[in-house]
Chains A and B, each alone.
Chain A
């Protein structure tokens, strides 16, 4: 968390401050405790999952959110109109907003894109002393996660969060208890979410074409019949 704050110029809280319970504008990531009946206190991380096909990027009407080739889902405040459809679209409840500002912006983990550009790894992975958070190409990380699960079947549940969720994410997690027990991320489907709206969006040209022709044709037929009816009425 401190690595993240330093890397992103976020305010550093006082040492005795209560830790955040959720992501917010000053906390791009949070390490949260979960009291489990069997396993005791389990810690898990919240952060942007950097979906391979992000719902937020597809939902943004102005390309203010974008997926970079290196995996980072980044944000451009100069494009954002502040509609907050990305909040509705995100299956992981990640985006946060600076509600109290007069020019509010979306705040979330950007995978330290500025550090990636400088050839560095994200602040959280750089700061992590135990290797609990590591950075690398997705296929390498997947391999690593599978190895860990295979090597310690007693320690890990055989589920890599992000391997399939929302069509796959570029942040992957493994844990000692089922992710469903954490109470979040339970309803995430495995299909990439943008497909669900694109199925409808892609039909727009056809609606315009057929709709226009149908309505025009309807008007023409009805109008003609009424005119003929009137003329017929006059003759008889």
Chain B
């Protein structure tokens, strides 16, 4: 089963991990200034913009799928829920890890619990991320109990499943939107294309979009790398829900630009407008793919729509953190190699843990997921979907 061979992939992984460890030592021995390009004018860099603010969004498949599959009772989506919850759990653990890298005084972190300021949006984000990580752990625990046949424990936790899902969805609604609320306090700084009182709503809606889109991307990645069959029925169904939230997002975006009267800024050719147009075009390009029933059912097109939307929402987050703030702070920020490396390092750790958990725990549903039988062993994934 476990083959110890030196492959190109493993060498690359080893380089990423070793480099990550070296930079980690440097980060904590020499301080933030030694490894990052952060400054008084760019206090939030790649680790906040990508690892935390985009990372929390990337992990939003957990609550989205919990809602669709378990609360609204769309049982067709059940096979997608467990992998999504595992991804979310790993994603949130990565967010906590990133915070330890990024906070100036991470060993004071407990003060958020001991001495909280309820007026701070950061308080809400911190509390929700903390509580939701625990909820995700409990939501995922049944897989572990199944693996070790702890039937009594599993049944006991099963009774708490629905309240846990509800709690997880409420906490997610709060902190996904508050990542947008963080910027409400900076009206003079964030460019008017992005600054709107609707920021919390836009962040929440885009979290729904990226949550579902990530489930599609992950399904295709697991199909390729873990030799799972692509649950195409469930994904096509998810495509319908995704279509709905993308439409909602675009509708609110149009309405917001109109209401605030900033359409002239969209096409004024400035640095900001370019990013804004590209960001929103990505949403618009994905729309026809999701609208067309044939394309929605075809893996290649549906998965590309998923990728497009993941990029679109991450770009939206980065635009708010960097592009939209640049004019006010007056400084251009380019992350250092070390900042990129740590982000890559953490994502790699997450992917490895996911792979390990997917191989050892019942994450993918039997029948739909497992394809370890020889017939599928080396055909290489994504094309072998089950058509309805």
Whether A associates with B in a native complex is: yes
Q: Which B residues touch A93, using CB under 8 A?
A: 40-41, 329
**Nearest-CB distance from A227 to chain B (Å)?**
10
Is residue A112 within 8 Å, beta carbon to beta carbon, of the partner chain? no
Is residue B10 within 8 Å, beta carbon to beta carbon, of the partner chain? no
Kindly report which residue of chain B lies nearest to residue A210, judged by CB atoms.
B170
Residue from A100, A208, A211, A222 within 8 A of B72 (CB atoms): A222
Is chain B's interface secondary structure helix, strand, loop, or mixed overall? helix
A196 to B40: give the CA distance in the assembly, Å: 23
Does the CB pair A81–B112 fall under 8 Å? yes
Does the CB pair B170–A58 fall under 8 Å? no
A218 to B66: give the CA distance in the assembly, Å: 13
Kindly report which residue of chain A lies nearest to residue B181, judged by CB atoms.
A200
A102 to B41: give the CA distance in the assembly, Å: 20
Does the CB pair A62–B103 fall under 8 Å? no
Is residue A49 within 8 Å, beta carbon to beta carbon, of the partner chain? no
Does the CB pair B40–A204 fall under 8 Å? no
Sort chain B's interface into a size bin: 35 or more
Binds A, one of B26-34, B133-141, B265-273, B341-349: B26-34
In residues 177-199 of chain B, which contact A (Cβ within 8 Å)?
177-178, 181-189
Is residue A128 within 8 Å, beta carbon to beta carbon, of the partner chain? no
Does the CB pair A88–B188 fall under 8 Å? no
**Nearest-CB distance from A39 to chain B (Å)?**
23
Kindly report which residue of chain B lies nearest to residue A216, judged by CB atoms.
B166
- Once A189-B187, A212-B170 are accepted as A-B contacts, the answer to whether A88 and B41 lie under 8 Å apart by CB is no
Does the CB pair B33–A222 fall under 8 Å? no
Residue from B31, B70, B119, B122 within 8 A of A104 (CB atoms): B31
A82 to B122: give the CA distance in the assembly, Å: 12
Q: Which A residues touch B256, using CB under 8 A?
A: none
A77 to B183: give the CA distance in the assembly, Å: 24
Kindly report which residue of chain A lies nearest to residue B110, judged by CB atoms.
A81
Does the CB pair A201–B32 fall under 8 Å? no
Is residue B371 within 8 Å, beta carbon to beta carbon, of the partner chain? no
Residue from B31, B111, B116, B119 within 8 A of A102 (CB atoms): B31
Is residue B152 within 8 Å, beta carbon to beta carbon, of the partner chain? no
Does the CB pair A80–B185 fall under 8 Å? no
**Nearest-CB distance from B153 to chain A (Å)?**
23
Is residue A163 within 8 Å, beta carbon to beta carbon, of the partner chain? no
Interface centre among B104, B182, B186 (most CB of A within 10 A): B104
Residue from B122, B124, B185 within 8 A of A196 (CB atoms): B185
A55 to B39: give the CA distance in the assembly, Å: 20
Does the CB pair B170–A208 fall under 8 Å? yes
A100 to B328: give the CA distance in the assembly, Å: 24
Does the CB pair A99–B119 fall under 8 Å? no
Kindly report which residue of chain A lies nearest to residue B127, judged by CB atoms.
A61
A61 to B105: give the CA distance in the assembly, Å: 13
**Nearest-CB distance from A191 to chain B (Å)?**
9
Is residue B258 within 8 Å, beta carbon to beta carbon, of the partner chain? no
Is residue B162 within 8 Å, beta carbon to beta carbon, of the partner chain? yes
Does the CB pair B72–A83 fall under 8 Å? no
Interface centre among B120, B166, B187 (most CB of A within 10 A): B120
**Nearest-CB distance from A126 to chain B (Å)?**
27
**A-B residue pairs in contact (CB < 8 Å), sample of 29:** A55-B185, A58-B117, A58-B119, A58-B120, A59-B122, A61-B112, A61-B123, A64-B111, A78-B108, A80-B104, A84-B104, A85-B121, A88-B44, A88-B325, A99-B32, A100-B30, A188-B188, A189-B187, A189-B188, A193-B186, A194-B119, A200-B200, A201-B118, A201-B124, A212-B170, A215-B67, A216-B166, A218-B72, A226-B73
The 7 closest A-B pairs by CB, nearest first: A82-B104, A187-B188, A99-B33, A87-B43, A100-B33, A61-B122, A84-B43
